[in-house]
A and B are shown apart, each in its own frame.
Chain A
Amino acid sequence: MAEYHLSTPISEEQVRKLKIGDVLFVSGTVLSSRDAGHRRTLEYLNERKPLPVNFSGMALYHVGPVVKKEGDRWKIVSAGPTTSARLEMYEAEFIEKTGVRVIIGKGGMGSKTAEACKKFGAVYTIFTGGAGALAAKAVEEVEKVEWLDLGVPEALWVMRVKEFGPLTVVIDSEGENLYDKVKKQVEINLKKAYSIIGLRTES
């Protein structure tokens, strides 16, 4: 396991050094996007409408933050990751068309995303589920928010972060998937678990 500290914009060369199980801390710009945000981004790209932010080399965070407004400034109260599996249907196209380099979420993603990570040079990482307070602490400033018409959780939050992490690399740019590897081992371990409760299994 290696530890990396990268600042956005992140280059393809930098991201291709990351391997599954590595730990990453990101500084710079993190952009939030959930279901509606992904849909709208792809819509804009397909209609050749200009996006309000440049995703290229940035980190994309699957999050619907809890926010509060103090005067005219937004503050992030809590910002733990949401389940990434819902975004599997959009992510490969998103990576291809935006040039985003680091995806942050929880729970893992599928083979289409892994394929896109390999082809275009990106990684999927997880931030600890539930750790919303820790995530919010790494946010130095909300630079701006776009698409608030989608609602607070779905809006596009542009956050300047410092040492945001630890992020565990779950899918790397070779398309390797840490969760698939762990799952293979867990499948082998299942028999041992059964034997502990006195269940015999046919081998």
Chain B
Amino acid sequence: MISRDKLRDKIARMVSATAIYLREDVKEALVKAYDKEGSPVAKSVFKSIIDNVKVAEDEKRPLCQDTGTLVFYVKAGESFHLLGELASIIKEATIEATLFTPLRPNAVDVITGKNSGDNTGERIPWIEWEIVPDCDEAEITVMLKGGGSEGPSLAKTIPPGLGVKEALKMAIDTIFEAGAKPCPPVILGVGLGPTGDIAMSLAKKAIIRRIGKRNPRADVAELEDKLLQAVNALGWGPHGVGGCTTALDAHIEMAHRHPAALAVGIAVNCWALRTSALRVTKDRVEFLTHKSLNLEGE
């Protein structure tokens, strides 16, 4: 049986690795963007991003000083043996990872402005739950959501008559207005659905999807291609210095809408897209990303 302490340590290792090692698909996308870039200024910015990723790996330091906000997505079986304790395990793992990485403490009381010092606080780390019937395993995903790129993110409900085209226009306008602020090249997530909170939640999940992977629906996949092409036509380039890659990818997720409302969520992430996942069964923990962690001693 995987014990409570063991799972806590594994989650802490996952959080720490997420801060240090950029996802492989993001690294590949950055190298491709560097190769494609014609402007020497943009190339120099891409090179410094790629160099930074390497330095972080070599020296085991967080690749960005901004820890971000810790968001966990938990998909847990109804009979997973640590289900009842999982929320407190995640909180303890967050404190542990903050200490040993070290991570910059980033959780601030909304009213007093006081920093808790350990990346936990009221409702933080945030956990989104999905309970799976007839299952005894759990899949835990963590996202370190950067603060700077949260600035331009938004949710708005529009008359459905304006259509999906208006939603895509909103996404383009968001990146147009944001310029250098969200640390481009960005990863753009668009959520479409009946209410603002649902749309925003879908937009966030859209960001996590692997770079280059398309929505399984062909008509939506085509919209994603067009949106990516349109955003890159803007020409902001890396960190706004001008160039052909402003976004590494654009993903769209949907839920059926209300007849009278189309809610649009737009989530923006900086190039430092930091997420990872692990699966835990009754007697095993397996890292689904950052697989080298699987080889570490028990």
Bound together: yes
Interface positions of A (Cβ within 8 A of B) = 1, 21, 23, 64-66, 68, 77-80, 83, 106-108, 126-134, 136-137, 165-166, 168, 170, 178-179, 181-183, 185-186, 189-190, 192-194, 196-199
Question: Nearest B residue to A3 by beta-carbon distance?
Answer: B44
Question: Which listed residue, B49, B231, B241, touches A182 by the CB 8 Å rule?
Answer: B241
* 26 residue pairs from A and B, CB less than 8 Å apart: A1-B40, A1-B44, A21-B41, A23-B41, A68-B102, A78-B65, A83-B148, A108-B180, A127-B48, A128-B238, A130-B49, A130-B183, A132-B64, A132-B66, A133-B62, A134-B51, A166-B44, A168-B41, A168-B239, A179-B179, A182-B240, A190-B172, A192-B233, A193-B172, A194-B169, A197-B169
Interface centre among B49, B229, B235, B271 (most CB of A within 10 A): B235
Q: Are A77 and B172 in contact (CB under 8 A)?
A: no
B242 interface hit (Cβ, 8 Å): yes
User: Could you tell me how many residues of chain B have their Cβ less than 8 Å away from some Cβ of chain A?
Assistant: 49
Q: Are A78 and B241 in contact (CB under 8 A)?
A: no
B288 interface hit (Cβ, 8 Å): no
The residues of B that contact A165 with a CB separation of less than 8 Å are 48
B206 interface hit (Cβ, 8 Å): no
- A184–chain B nearest beta-carbon distance, Å: 10
Interface of B is mostly: helix
Stretch with Cβ within 8 A of A (4 or more), from B52-60, B196-204, B277-285: B52-60
Q: Are B44 and A197 in contact (CB under 8 A)?
A: no
10 A-B pairs closest in CB distance: A131-B52, A134-B52, A132-B65, A133-B56, A78-B65, A129-B183, A196-B230, A130-B64, A193-B230, A182-B242
The residues of B that contact A107 with a CB separation of less than 8 Å are 179-181, 240
- With contacts A66-B62, A168-B41 taken as known, whether A182 is within 8 angstroms of B237 at the C-beta atoms is yes
In Å, the complex CA distance between A129 and B176 comes to: 18
Interface positions of B (Cβ within 8 A of A) = 40-41, 44-45, 47-49, 51-52, 55-56, 59, 61-66, 102, 104, 146, 148, 165, 168-169, 172, 176, 179-181, 183, 226-227, 229-231, 233-242, 270-272
Q: Are A194 and B230 in contact (CB under 8 A)?
A: yes
- With contacts A186-B176, A199-B165 taken as known, whether A128 is within 8 angstroms of B45 at the C-beta atoms is yes
